[in-house]
Amino acid sequence: MSSLRLAVFVGSHGRGSNLMAIQSAVSAGNLPAEIVCVIGTRADAPAIARAKQAGLPTKIVSPKDRSDAEYADVLLRVLRGANADTIALAGYMRRLPSPVVQSFPNRIVNIHPSLLPAFGGHGMYGEKVHQAVIDTGVKVSGCTVHFVDEEFDTGPIISQKVVPVEDDDTAQTLAARILPYEHAAFPEALALLASGRLRVEGRRVRRV
Ligand code: GRF
């Protein structure tokens, strides 16, 4: 078991609830980790405000007015400056630049609010995911924690939690039912990573 030095990326409009769930698990002693940096794209994101309130170090790196290569360079500088060894994407909507993905092999983890590979991919975020679930008529949804590769939502799956879809669900009610499962699943998956018990074999992640 080693303690993670965790950089958490949050979204430009993210609430930061998964960030806070991770921080709570750290504080409660359920996740051997230190959040060494919270990285956002916008200073006015609610998630950044919550991070600051919690006394976590924050850094804003905007992709605006930067080439992909410049954005990647700055991110890598920030990550190295914080001595991060693991990255959690908690509401970050963009594709991480390739040099960042390649610098942290099997050390970048994302949470997605559906049972991947269903209802994932480019443009599938927030209520769009839950509306698509409802429109498709599936009876279960949930959340997925997975390693990040260079595409959207396609990396090897670490864990999933299943949540029922009710007949009268709206995107909002379904999102609200799934969110607490996300808050449990993300720190649990990070704790498994910290335990050194995860092995990635092709598309499969095994617990050894
Ligand atoms: C969560 O639903 C997560 O699954 C998705 O983005 C949302 C972020 O919410 N990737 P929050 O900012 O953690 O509250």
Show the domain range for 46: 4-198
How far away, in angstroms, is 185 Cα from ligand 1 center? Answer: 12
Is residue 142 in contact with ligand 1, taking CB distance under 6 Å? Answer: no
Whole-number pLDDT of residue 54? 97
Is residue 46 assigned to a domain? Answer: yes
Instruction: Give catalytic status of residue 13 as yes or no.
Output: no
CB of 18 closer than 8 Å to CB of 91: yes
Is residue 207 assigned to a domain? Answer: no
- C-alpha distances (whole Å) from 49 to each of 28, 187, 195 are 22, 21, 31
Tokens of residue 1, six digits? 């078991």
Is residue 206 assigned to a domain? Answer: no
Is residue 82 assigned to a domain? Answer: yes
Q: What is the pLDDT of residues 7-64, one digit of tens each?
A: 999 999 889 999 999 999 999 999 999 999 999 999 999 999 999 999 999 999 999 9
Is residue 208 assigned to a domain? Answer: no
Is residue 35 assigned to a domain? Answer: yes
Whole-number pLDDT of residue 14? 87
What percent of the chain shows pLDDT beyond 70? Answer: 100
SS3 assignment, position 86: strand
Q: What is the mean pLDDT of the chain?
A: 97
Choose the residue to mutate in 158, 161, 182, 190 for probing ligand 1, maximizing ligand atoms within 8 Å of C-beta.
182
Q: CA–CA separation, 126 vs 63, rounded Å?
A: 21
Q: CA–CA separation, 72 vs 78, rounded Å?
A: 10
Q: What is the pLDDT of residues 133-165, one digit of tens each?
A: 999 999 999 999 999 999 999 999 999 999 999
Is residue 205 assigned to a domain? Answer: no
pLDDT band at 2 (very low <50, low <70, confident <90, very high): confident
Whole-number pLDDT of residue 155? 97
Pairing of strands 198-201, 157-164: unpaired
Strand partners, 180: none
Number of domains present in the structure of the chain = 1
Q: What is the pLDDT of residues 76-105, one digit of tens each?
A: 999 999 999 999 999 999 999 999 999 999
Whole-number pLDDT of residue 91? 95
Task: State which amino acid sits at residue 177.
Answer: R
Is residue 153 in contact with ligand 1, taking CB distance under 6 Å? Answer: no
pTM summary value: 0.97
CATH number reported for the structural domain that contains residue 154 in this entry: 3.40.50.170
Whole-number pLDDT of residue 1? 66
Helix 46-53 with 17-27: angle, nearest 10 deg: 20
Is residue 203 assigned to a domain? Answer: no
Q: What is the pLDDT of residues 103-118, one digit of tens each?
A: 999 999 999 999 999 9
Residue 128 has pLDDT above 70, yes or no: yes
Contacts for 67 with CB less than 8 Å, ≥ 6 apart: none
Is residue 16 in contact with ligand 1, taking CB distance under 6 Å? Answer: yes
